[in-house]
Structure 1
Amino acid sequence: MMWPSSQASKILTFLLLVIVVYCICMDTLLFLRIQNYKIDVFDVETNVTHESTTLKETRALPSYEESTWVPCTINPLCHPTVKALMVDHINHYIYGPLCAIVDMGLGISENMKFITPNMISFFHVFVALVGAKLVTSPSLASRRIGVVLFQIRMFLDDLDGHVARERKHIKGEKSEVGTLGYWVDGICDTLGVIFMMIGITLYLRNNPPRRGYKNTPASTLPYHQLKEINSTEDIEKDHTTDNGISYKTKVTFQKIVQVIGLFSGQMLLSSLSWNRYIDIYQDLLENCTEYDVIRRETMFKSGKFFFASGIWRITNPHSYLHALSLAVFCDKTWCFLKTIHYIGYLGLVVSVGISEFLTDNIRSYVMAGIEGR
């Protein structure tokens, strides 16, 4: 261990509490910023077909960039976009500003033109490979270093996008579907996740979780439980005493692969769904300039869309990875995987169902402007 477990638990609990409170406060400030200030992507005068004075008053809102004391170069609230509203809290509120600070400090975007976003993507695959090797270690200290490396990989994943946007002078996050950078980034992210899951699988294979009965009086141990253990698990008999028998059971490698496979399936479905709804919302609210701009802006500012996007801030694949990293760091990997390998699918089904319903509502409202022309 890197430090006493009791001390580590206290420090980690405190840090988690601070991060949760920070993210809740930032979400609140983000919602207020969207409501009370101009949104860059809608600050145009084309396709204003709605005649409602109330809606048109939103065009006269002040500029957030001129009102905030935190420079927009590091302020994650300055340029809200569809994707920014659907990125997980850690990447948006912590890694995003850190990327801007590192970029300004090193001058990557301006002075290091030889470092391309794709090069950063390839490098974080290497970091993930090293992290995966450390995660296989029986030493908790080594596994924790591996988790730190995986978090560095996620930071670098944010950095490549930040550098690409800075060099193209793009404000706010945006998925450029179909571009070379889009595919390179996606493939490198996938490789990083695969390495992490392989590392965890190898660790659990070499250090299989155990379950069973310890120091249980033989007279009170039900016969059907003993029979069930003998028929389904590999039993190790530690010792026999006058007071009873102590049994431990190894979880089979087949079970380990099954649980990790189900969790990986959740990651895949979460990634596909997350990217799908980013594309849908970008097309409805940002890309389709033929739709009434006031209707698009009004829907973007609505609590309905903030809720619709907020669902995927929690259930997107990056959130899964943060939770898994925390479980590995706390030496609760198997407990976490066992808990979520079925329940996670239920959460995804609920998220997709709610999103489909809200998407239809958003589409109907935005496209009503065309029908009313």
Structure 2
Amino acid sequence: MMWPSSQASKILLALLIFVIVYCVIMDTLLFMRMRRFKLHIFDVSPDNTTSNLSTLSPIEPDYEEVTWTPCTINPLCHPTVKALMIDSTNHYIYGPLCAIFDISTGLSENMLFITPNMISIFHVFIALIAGKLFTFQSLAARRVAVVLYQIRTILDDLDGHVARERKHIKGERSEVGTLGYWVDGFCDMIGVVAMIVGITFYLKNNPPRKGYRGASVSTLPYHQLKEMNTLEDMDKDGSEVGISYKTKVSFPKIAQVVCWFSGQLLLSSLMWNRYVDVYQELLENCVNFDVMKRQEVFRSSIFFTATSFWRLLNPHSYLHLLCLAVFCDKTWIFLKMVHHSGYVCLLFAVAISEYFIAQFRLFVSSGADCCL
């Protein structure tokens, strides 16, 4: 280990609590910023024509004029649909770090030979190295893999940041169908596959164990005794308090649990991208809808709640939790814990999102032709 397990647990717990509190505070500030200050996404329509918002609503204060944090690094300055659906770690921590790195190095302005797609391809190599380290039996090596994978995630944020800066786009947006969109998605997929394959090989070579513990063999039910007598690779560990019978989890069982988790990642990714696209079209891009109604939906607590499901359940959140489990040497426990419950949460979020989309569309499209 890189340091004693108890010390690592205390540090991780303190860090986790700090991150959770910080993200909750930032979410609260983001909601207050949306309700009280001007929303620039409604100033200009996608065809670069000025919207009629200024003539329909009173003049609102500009957040950029009152915040003490420069908007170049402030994640609250330019709220968009995608910004509301990005996981909090990426939006509130990695995003500002990428902006600071860009300002310090002049990457967007001065290093034009480095393209966003090059950054995407580079983080694939880091993911492959991390994937190899995930297979190691040494916990220290797997912790290094977690660190490398987080660096890969930061670079994944950086390629999008550089692309937006060079196109002078303010706020997070998905440019569906562009070359960068597909390259970024393909590189992300390779990185995730490398991590899952690495963890699968680790569990295959170091299978978790299951079994029974009792005060004595005679106190166990007959069906358990019969099952223990037929299990292979059985370890018998005598102790003062009783006897422990343990057997290795078979590889088919490991593969099944990993596949269940991989299916969650795929479902989460598909649904997250779908709702980002649908909400962007409904609220940001469809100029046939009344701009005041679109803004009212965007500022509502219901829409903030609807997007909060996907801040928690998007694929990046899953991967952050998996990295935390690997770092704490609780990989199998985490995979077993979410391999069914995760689907329940995802299906609930999908059902709620579909309901909200129908209600939002009905509200904003009244008296207008729908462009979806």
Q: Normalising by structure 1, what TM-score? A: 0.94
**Aligned residue type for 1:124:** H
Instruction: Note closer, same or farther for the CA distance 1:60–1:135 as it changes in structure 2 (3 Å cut).
Output: same
Q: 1:40 aligns to what?
A: 40
CA shift digits 1:153-205 (9 cap, x unpaired): 11110000000000000000000000000000000000100000000000000
Q: 1:114 aligns to what?
A: 113
1:304 aligns with 2:326: no
* CA distance in 2 between partners of 1:225 and 1:342 (Å): 25
Q: 1:324 aligns to what?
A: 322
**Aligned residue type for 1:37:** F
**Aligned residue type for 1:272:** L
Q: 1:263 aligns to what?
A: 261
Instruction: Note closer, same or farther for the CA distance 1:62–1:243 as it changes in structure 2 (3 Å cut).
Output: closer
Name structure 2 gaps, 5 residues minimum: none
* CA distance in 1 between partners of 2:184 and 2:221 (Å): 55
Aligned length: 366
Instruction: Note closer, same or farther for the CA distance 1:70–1:241 as it changes in structure 2 (3 Å cut).
Output: closer
Contact 1:219–1:244 at 8 Å: present in 2 too?
A: no
Q: Which moved more, 1:237-246 or 1:181-190?
A: 237-246
Q: 1:6 aligns to what?
A: 6
Q: 2:87 aligns to what?
A: 88
* CA distance in 2 between partners of 1:261 and 1:369 (Å): 47
Instruction: Note closer, same or farther for the CA distance 1:243–1:285 as it changes in structure 2 (3 Å cut).
Output: closer
Contact 1:79–1:172 at 8 Å: present in 2 too?
A: yes
Contact 1:47–1:291 at 8 Å: present in 2 too?
A: no
Instruction: Note closer, same or farther for the CA distance 1:216–1:284 as it changes in structure 2 (3 Å cut).
Output: same
Instruction: Note closer, same or farther for the CA distance 1:239–1:300 as it changes in structure 2 (3 Å cut).
Output: closer
* CA distance in 2 between partners of 1:241 and 1:5 (Å): 24
Q: Which moved more, 1:168-177 or 1:218-227?
A: 218-227
Q: 1:128 aligns to what?
A: 127
* CA distance in 1 between partners of 2:228 and 2:56 (Å): 70
**Aligned residue type for 1:320:** Y
Shift of 1:289: 1.2
* CA distance in 1 between partners of 2:161 and 2:176 (Å): 16
* CA distance in 1 between partners of 2:134 and 2:221 (Å): 38
Q: 1:168 aligns to what?
A: 167
Q: 1:18 aligns to what?
A: 18
**2:245 alignment partner, SS class:** strand
Shift of 1:227: 2.0
Taking the TM superposition and a 5 Å limit, the aligned residue runs for 1:114-263 are 114-214=113-213, 216-231=215-230, 233-238=231-236, 245-263=243-261
1:103 aligns with 2:102: yes
CA shift digits 1:94-148 (9 cap, x unpaired): 0000000011111110111111100100011100100011111111111000011
**Aligned residue type for 1:2:** M
**1:248 alignment partner, SS class:** strand
Contact 1:299–1:362 at 8 Å: present in 2 too?
A: yes
* CA distance in 2 between partners of 1:181 and 1:248 (Å): 50
Q: 1:29 aligns to what?
A: 29
1:69 aligns with 2:68: yes
* CA distance in 1 between partners of 2:332 and 2:190 (Å): 22
Shift of 1:48: 4.5
* CA distance in 2 between partners of 1:11 and 1:258 (Å): 33
Shift of 1:218: 1.8
Which stretches of structure 1, 4 residues or longer, exceed 4 Å deviation after superposition? 44-49, 239-245
Shift of 1:295: 1.0
CA shift digits 1:272-296 (9 cap, x unpaired): 0000000100000011112111111
**Aligned residue type for 1:118:** N
CA shift digits 1:253-272 (9 cap, x unpaired): 00000000000000000000
**Aligned residue type for 2:34:** I
Contact 1:47–1:290 at 8 Å: present in 2 too?
A: no
1:279 aligns with 2:277: yes
Contact 2:293–2:363 at 8 Å: present in 1 too?
A: yes
Contact 1:48–1:292 at 8 Å: present in 2 too?
A: no
CA shift digits 1:9-35 (9 cap, x unpaired): 111111001000000000000000000
**2:234 alignment partner, SS class:** strand
**Aligned residue type for 1:96:** G
Q: Which moved more, 1:90-99 or 1:215-224?
A: 215-224
Shift of 1:47: 6.0
Contact 1:46–1:293 at 8 Å: present in 2 too?
A: no
Instruction: Note closer, same or farther for the CA distance 1:360–1:223 as it changes in structure 2 (3 Å cut).
Output: same
Q: 2:340 aligns to what?
A: 342
**Aligned residue type for 2:23:** C
**Aligned residue type for 2:160:** G
Shift of 1:246: 3.6
